[in-house]
């Protein structure tokens, strides 16, 4: 089968015959029934807004199981999955080493609210292989890790204001759930009901990739900025690759003004490489936050910094942060198993090469067809954007009208057995479980779907 696929995809992808039409919609009968029932229990029928499929066609798919690079929904439809629980399943679904370790540890109990040796084991694994943290604190989510990092920065510096960037998402804590106001340098405006204006006014929102805006912000708020927070590589609103020079300027500006630089690596940490975007750019943030990838998809997060900064966290210092489920033994067990696999020789090289070849093949096809599509990628992360821009580095660079094309492509892909996150602003992830066979099948499905999109433009 592999040889036949090789022949099918040999040569220029642009020579693939144009797809003749849309695929019939898959059955969503059981998912639709479950969704109608869920609306009686949950706001919008979901426990996280993007799951509601508001940006794409049809009702949400209710996933029944996952294995390797596949997921199956309640109607029995099988999909090659490029969402991977929004990134943490870098080994794929239901990895045997992770499953076995979790099953083993579960026999002794699932939660204690007390220290376990597993916390030490996972912490040692991380700190010994990460130059950017000397001490860490486990949390139960990336949002909690970022919220705690902000509090730590304020406690360490004795300052209140935070600078964030339009187009970066850092979880749903009040001080960061803000959007840009008008003007080059502006206080954030609440982007959610229930967030007090006073909270948002402690957050300054700047455009990405704008040196002048950074200069003005630090001039205007000289000794008030506790920290600047930025995604290691912004990947929650497209894939907004930042220039090395810009990030170096940001780091130097923070040092000059005695403000802390926080890298939010909830997506990029342990994904681009074991040390994430910090190593990718060769920069040393003051505080780094990480997310679910630590626990193989189980609820876990982490923040870390130098021993000096972390000494301000309770019980050593005056910055309070706690969590009954922090360091949960099941999550720690999954983390030990997953990160041990990531540390194996050649893991990231093989994964990233595979993802690069996949993304570049998609781009070659789109270019050969003269389709207005760019496939941005870094490491094992990719983003299909309906644009002709060679660079998209800011939120306002994204053509919002292009989301209609994504909506059509998403439907075509589901009908061809490919699962992407249900929003054109979300990135996709290649896992170690994606084999060449599955990636070639996915390419064919994406080629055909793009043909349909642009035939109907």
Which pLDDT belongs to residue 14?
Answer: 43
Q: How many CB atoms lie within 10 A of CB 359?
A: 21
pLDDT mean over 162-188:
70
Task: Decide if 363 is inside a domain.
Answer: yes
pLDDT of residue 20: 54
Look up residue 338 and give its DSSP letter. H
Task: Assess whether 282 and 398 both reside in one domain.
Answer: no
Tell me, what's the pLDDT at 190?
63
Does one domain contain both 297 and 374?
A: no
DSSP 3-state assignment of 16? coil
How far apart are alpha carbons 299 and 295 in whole angstroms? 7
pLDDT digits (tens, 9 = 90+) for 319-358: 999 999 999 999 999 999 999 999 999 999 999 999 999 9
Residue 65 is part of a domain; what is its CATH number?
Answer: 3.90.1150.10
Quick: pLDDT tens for 73-103.
Answer: 999 999 999 999 999 999 999 999 999 999 9
The pair of three-digit structure tokens given for residue 116, joined into one six-digit string? 């376990």
Do 323 and 432 share a structural domain?
Answer: no
181 pLDDT band, cuts 50/70/90, is very low
Q: How confident is the model at residue 191 (pLDDT cuts 50, 70, 90)?
A: low
Identify the CATH number of the domain in which residue 313 sits. Answer: 3.40.640.10
Last residue of a domain, one of 342, 365, 392: 342
12's tokens? 């220029």
Specify whether 26 is located in the same domain as 128: no
Higher pLDDT: 184 or 145? It is 145
pLDDT band, very low/low/confident/very high, at 201 (cuts 50, 70, 90): confident
Reference 161, options 187, 179, 197; nearest CA is 187
Question: In this structure, are 326 and 353 located in the same domain?
Answer: no
Residue 203, strand partner residues: 162
Task: Kindly state whether residues 320 and 355 are assigned to the same domain.
Answer: no
Q: Tell me: the pLDDT tens digits for 283-293?
A: 999 999 999 89
369's enclosing H/E stretch is: helix 347-369
Residue range of the domain that includes 226: 96-342
The per-residue pLDDT for 172 is: 77
Q: Which residues pair with 273 in a beta bridge?
A: 269
Yes or no: say if 99 and 360 are a contact pair by the CB < 8 Å rule: no
Locate tokens 């084999």: which residue?
Answer: 435
Residue 91 lies in a domain: no
Q: 284, 310, 342 — which closes off a domain?
A: 342
Residue ending a domain, choose from 322, 342, 362: 342
Same domain, 69 and 110: no
* Reported pTM: 0.91
Q: Does any domain span residue 384?
A: yes
Residue 72's φ and ψ, nearest 5 degrees, are -125, 140
> Taking residues 198-223, what's their average pLDDT?
91
260 pLDDT higher than 60: yes
pLDDT(187) > 80: no
Same domain for 161 and 40: no
Same domain assignment for residues 229 and 120: yes
What whole-number distance in Å separates Cα of residue 61 and Cα of residue 84?
14
Report the pLDDT value the prediction gives residue 30, as an integer from 0 to 100. 97
Q: Are 379 and 317 in a shared domain?
A: no
For the chain, how many structural domains are there in total? 2
Tally of CB atoms within 10 A around 93: 22
- Residue 89 domain-assigned? no
* pLDDT score recorded for residue 11: 40
Q: Is position 88 within any domain?
A: no
**Same domain assignment for residues 126 and 180:** yes
Q: What is the pLDDT confidence band of residue 177, given thresholds at 50, 70 and 90?
A: low
Tell whether 371 and 256 lie within a shared domain. Answer: no
> Whose CA is closest to 87, among 295, 373, 393?
295
Average pLDDT value over all residues in the chain: 91
Q: What average pLDDT does range 216-225 have in this prediction? A: 94
- Contact between 135 and 343 under an 8 Å Cβ cutoff? The reply is no
400-413 confidence digits (pLDDT tens) = 999 999 999 999 99
What gap in Å lies between CA 269 and CA 289, rounded to an integer? Answer: 8
Which residue numbers are catalytic?
Answer: 169, 264, 292
Residue 307 lies in a domain: yes
pLDDT of residue 3: 37
pLDDT computed for residue 199 by the predictor? 74
């Amino acid at each position: 089968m592999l040889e036949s696929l090789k022949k099918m995809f040999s040569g220029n992808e642009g020579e693939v015959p144009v797809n003749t039409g849309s695929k019939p919609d898959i059955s969503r009968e059981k998912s639709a029934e479950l969704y109608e029932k869920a609306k009686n229990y949950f706001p919008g029928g979901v426990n996280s807004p993007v799951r509601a499929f508001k940006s794409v066609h049809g009702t949400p798919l209710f996933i029944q199981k996952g294995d390797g690079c596949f997921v199956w929904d309640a109607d029995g439809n099988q999909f090659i999955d490029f969402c991977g629980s929004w990134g943490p399943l870098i080994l794929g679904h239901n990895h045997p080493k992770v499953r076995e370790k979790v099953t083993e540890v579960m026999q002794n109990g699932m939660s204690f609210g007390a220290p376990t040796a597993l916390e030490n084991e996972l912490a040692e694994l991380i700190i010994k292989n990460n130059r950017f943290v000397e001490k860490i604190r486990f949390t139960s989510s990336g949002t909690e890790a970022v919220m705690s990092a902000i509090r730590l920065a304020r406690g360490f510096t004795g300052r209140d204001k935070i600078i964030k960037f339009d187009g970066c998402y850092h979880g749903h804590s009040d001080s960061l759930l803000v959007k840009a106001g008008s003007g080059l340098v502006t206080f954030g405006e609440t982007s959610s009901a229930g967030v007090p204006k006073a909270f948002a006014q402690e957050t300054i929102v700047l455009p990405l990739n704008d040196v002048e805006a950074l200069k003005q912000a630090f001039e205007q708020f000289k000794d008030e900025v506790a920290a600047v927070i930025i995604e290691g590589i912004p990947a929650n609103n497209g894939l907004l690759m930042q220039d090395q020079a810009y990030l170096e300027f940001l780091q130097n500006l923070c040092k000059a003004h005695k403000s802390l630089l926080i890298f939010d690596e909830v997506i990029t940490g342990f994904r681009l490489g074991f040390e994430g975007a910090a190593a990718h750019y060769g920069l040393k943030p003051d505080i780094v936050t990480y997310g679910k990838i630590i626990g193989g998809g189980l609820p876990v997060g982490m923040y870390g910094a130098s021993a000096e900064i972390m000494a301000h966290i309770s019980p050593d210092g005056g910055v309070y942060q706690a969590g009954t489920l922090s360091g949960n033994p099941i999550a720690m067990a999954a983390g030990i198993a997953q990160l041990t696999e990531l540390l194996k020789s050649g893991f990231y090289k093989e994964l990233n090469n595979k993802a690069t070849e996949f993304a570049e093949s998609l781009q070659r096809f789109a270019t050969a067809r003269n389709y207005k599509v760019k496939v941005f990628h870094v490491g094992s992360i990719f983003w299909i954007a309906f644009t002709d821009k060679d660079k998209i580095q800011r939120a306002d660079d994204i053509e919002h009208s292009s989301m209609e094309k994504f909506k059509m492509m998403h439907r075509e892909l589901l009908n061809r057995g490919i699962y992407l996150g249900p929003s054109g602003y979300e990135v996709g992830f290649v896992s170690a479980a994606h084999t060449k066979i599955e990636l070639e099948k996915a390419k064919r499905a994406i080629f055909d779907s793009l043909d349909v999109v642009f035939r109907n433009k």
